[in-house]
Amino acid sequence: MKKLLSAALAAALALALTACSSTPAETPARTSDELATILTTAINENSEGGADVITASALTAATDWLTENKGMSAEDAAALVEEYGNVSYEERETFLTGKGLTADEINAFQEAEATARNAQMIFETLGLSSEDFEAGALSISLINVRAYGMAIIKPAEGKEETVTAALQNFIAGQQQSFENYLQDQYAIAQAAKCETVNGYVVMAMGENSDAIFQAISDALNANA
């Protein structure tokens, strides 16, 4: 009987140790849209200005539209978008009509293409390419009238230093721009934050950036 009890206790102890040493499930990586929600909420709740947020997925808005609405392969869609970019502005509607798009489809495609082009300019302003990240959300002003830039980026494998350096260089550029121009904006740029939070590189530069950064950090660490 004692042997049976000892065996039972040993088995229970083994199960308890296994449970204690088991690795918790990893938190699923957030999508660009989820990061956009986090960023938009953090900005809207901690600043007076509204957030104009663009996601990494916007980079492929034009090709995505073609694959989803015209049944094209990703390769054919990318080729058409590239060809469209080389057509003069006056001939673009004729070009798309020749590709079989209706008037409504032309409007929808051109809206998607403009979104992708704007996203490309923003990411290029930061010195980033699509190979550098898995997901991301940004709020960047292309008109340099204030020290402003917010970002949450999930770097691609091995690209954390690249992403961090790009955002730090953006901040340094803003600091240089306003150092002898607008002292209040220079102070904002000086107070900017750029840190890695739970695997995401976060940049917060703007009015009340400390509170915005904290709100983003809290959201990224939730359920981690």
Taken in order 82, 86, 91, 95, the sign of the CA dihedral is negative
DSSP 198: T
Task: Provide, rounded to the nearest whole percent, the portion of the chain with pLDDT above 70.
Answer: 86
Q: What gap in Å lies between CA 57 and CA 31, rounded to an integer?
A: 9
Query: pLDDT tens, 146-180?
Result: 899 999 999 999 999 999 999 999 999 999 999 88
Identify the pLDDT of residue 104: 97
Mean pLDDT of the region 59-79: 96
SS (H, E, C) 13-26: HHHHHHHHHCCCCC
Identify the pLDDT of residue 25: 36
Q: Which of the residue ranges 47-51, 69-73, 176-180 has the most confident prediction, judged by mean pLDDT?
A: 69-73
Q: What gap in Å lies between CA 154 and CA 147, rounded to an integer?
A: 23
pTM of the predicted model as reported, rounded to 2 decimal places: 0.81
**Residue written as tokens 């950064």?**
213
Model confidence at 86: pLDDT above 80: yes
Model confidence at 32: pLDDT above 80: yes
Model confidence at 39: pLDDT above 50: yes
Question: Looking at per-residue confidence, does 219 or 19 come out higher?
Answer: 219
- Contact of 113 with 83, CB cutoff 8 Å: no
Query: pLDDT tens, 105-116?
Result: 999 999 999 999
- Contact of 137 with 54, CB cutoff 8 Å: yes
3-state DSSP helix/strand/coil % of the chain, to nearest 5: 60, 10, 25
Burial of residue 145 (CB within 10 Å: 0-12, 13-18, 19+) is exposed
CA distances, 52 to each of 148, 150, 152, 220 (Å): 12, 10, 14, 20
Identify the pLDDT of residue 2: 41
